[in-house]
Structure 1
């Protein structure tokens, strides 16, 4: 461990992304601290196991809670309600950080590759890869960014010591992680040797699903609409306050979408 490695505090450490952040921080040699709620450890056996795992690897556990920031650029996001109002809270937190002069780095990780869409080859309602047909929102030609969770964590922890990211927004846009839905399906067809019937869902029908569809699917459709139809994961980077992770850290060997798809064969 380098003597001058800074201490890293992971907020939401037992959540989906938090575990990857803790792993990356430890792997890159940082003294690592994890914020957890005492009630979480007492009431959730699975997360209690995660916390015990942290302790066994030398993570310092701190029992407090603060909000976190990941995903789309919430200050420039075109997404439907009620997601917009929920994410507006994050935008207000950003603004307060700036007003109070708190040193910070905001990471816009776009869409988590293995969380939802890549295992379904970009579909919303499917339970896995297509077998005969594949549903596409819109025309399927909108660029979207899908970054592996471990890579998002690595880029984030590397930024913790980097003065180039201070008070900046760091966007994750490795070239091999930028793709359209049609291109993703092309790759999958090449890997499987199959051709799939491509069914396009017009944007108005997508909006109707968001407004009137099953409650448990509306959130996924909102995110898919913002990413795969509106292209909100690949908005222009304003260099006055924005930097791009793969340009800052070309030494990071990230997993491309082409490589990640192999794991679903």
Structure 2
């Protein structure tokens, strides 16, 4: 894989898709329908998916593509592939809470090694460089011209005063019980893959997810967090979370900065 080209293409497509999504976000009355798995989908999801999928297939025709909005891509058995969630956090989008993202990632031999997460309503853009380092880009977010960037890195956690981020739409009693096993100084809620990015920037130390997710929900944020020095492990045995699993479904997991003393499952 040409990582320089991959970085440029993923960044451009994420920004273009984000701009398309914001056209819908600013319009009244976005229609929502339920997919076969009961998850919500809108015209914004579908428009962003069409844009990203076409761009990735044109740029990397020999790399398999998995995308949330195309069910026929979910039956593949892969260990190296591109994976897309064109609008992660559809519930946040519909409720106009802003915490939704465009996620594009490249998984190589079961691990997400490159990714981009763009939160257009929050005006935050995170991605990995060609060398795998995690960056946040500020400025106008022009698809054709990169702006100023800063390298991001996880914090050095204080286990006596951890900062935890949890799901805004899917938090439950089981998650709260798990968080209660730590000495916590601050807990915040966020939607979509932004939770990975908050750990990656050092704004949080720990993100536990005890609920259903799919690989397209997590791969891009996982790649950004890994590029910032963070880790994502399975909840049950604390082994690395891998990709290309049957049906692209994830087990429960924990994303964290190294140094966090994980509680047992």
TM-score, length-scaled by structure 2: 0.23
Q: Larger radius of gyration, structure 1 or 2?
A: 1
Greater fraction of residues in strand? 2
